[in-house]
Amino acid sequence: MAGMIAKATIIASEAWAAAPPDGCDAAGVVARNLPAVVNISVIQVVTKTGDDGSRKEHLEINDGSGVIIDPSGIIVTNRHVIQSAAEIRVDFSDRSEVAAQLIQASVLVDLALLQVDIGRPLPALRFADSDSLRVGQPVVAVGNPFGIGTSVTTGVVSAVNRDFMRSPVDNLIQTDAAINPGNSGGPLLDCAGDIVGINTALASNNKALGSIGIGFAIPSNVVSYVGGRLRHPETDSPDWFGLQLQDMTPSLAAAFHQRDVGGAVVTATDRGSPAALASIAPGDIIAAVDGHALSDSRAILRELVVKPLGQPATLSILRGGAKHDVTVTGQQWPNLAMLRNEFLADPAAVERAEAQGTGMLLADITPESRRQFGLGDEAGVLIYEVAEGSQAESAELKAGDVIERVGDNAATTPQQVQEQLKRGNHEGEELVPVLVRSKTNTRWVTLCVGRVNVSRLMFAPSQSPNVGTAASSQPHRQ
């Protein structure tokens, strides 16, 4: 594809909007279901490599989206939204905010489950049957683009079964409903207000990576299936067969003397895998699973991976011009679930990032600095220098900017500002608003100056006697 696929959390500035679809009451869908859509704010440890090859960690605040799928407080979002997180907070439509914990994230699919507890049941959305989606069907995307707040876009299903994530259960929905950075993890809804997908990525041919009307969502059936296994990663994992497949093409079909271009050809089997033990070999053409003719490699892998663990599968194989039925029993997927702390920030990296502070060298405004930086009559404290790879740099602060306020207090001296931004003065994560005047505008910037504790992100199932059932419902089989 000309252009590029980008996670929808990258900062962008250009948006594309589709016309509202006919026959769909988008306003009604939003009014009924908006309380179940949340904004997610993540303090992440980001590593930047300097021009000299050195690596520096800094804290960065990024935004994403999520949707409540169980009244007990289970939220689904994208894995990349919470990757390298040190703290995760969830904002609800009523502007209340609460800390979230990670239940588990998926290695195979860009999904993660969070848990929040506000002491009462929460509104939750249902999963629709994404296998029933039709190209041209109206859809509504809800999320937090660019961190500006909950927004709604409308469009249609442009295509189904798109393949960009390269996983056994990958069959993305393509939509022209605008999906931008920050929409990641938010729901794609049908006209009944049910979840048909989780917004995940966008294709863009502009430098800002803004939407040009080509967005992608993980289908609800995949989300439901994977979510159930994230709930119980030790006991409920997908089947592993050790097959590596390639789609059949007209040229491959001709080369293998096959009339039908359906199915997939085996390229390799993993050593010691069930497929290898069943003597499946490169060049074998798998045409069907349990009697179901399947169109491509991902359809075959999906059919296999969702089988109950230990249940045998019958593969119809074409080999040497003859058809063979081979029975294979899957095993538990090896190394499927990474430890949660492999998704989250490393505590040592957090300490290094915290030790760096915000990365600003502050100074009084003097007649000389006014001439040096072209300042007018601004009052406040001068940002004289910004460290490379620092939190201040990630917030796009620059030398010559002037800090006018820190929270409710006017900025008067460098010492006063430094004391207010001094790390360790605050217990837990502390986000401080700083009013900064640059040559082009004046804006509030949020800086993290408290101590973050990654261990608070670990959710133990024993913490809640009932974490719900919506995420573990069975998918609609193809």
Distance separating alpha carbons of residues 312 and 470, to the nearest angstrom: 27
- Which residue of the set 72, 106, 158, 184 is catalytic? 184
Q: Is 473 an active-site residue? A: no
State the Cα–Cα distance between residues 352 and 330, nearest whole angstrom.
44
Out of 58, 72, 80, 130, which one is annotated catalytic? 80
Catalytic entry in 63, 70, 91, 110: 110
Look up 224 and say whether it is catalytic.
no
**Encoded tokens for 291:** 């009697």
Q: Is 476 a residue of the active site?
A: no
Which residues on neighbouring strands pair with residue 147, listed in sequence order? none
By annotation, the residues acting in catalysis are 80, 110, 184
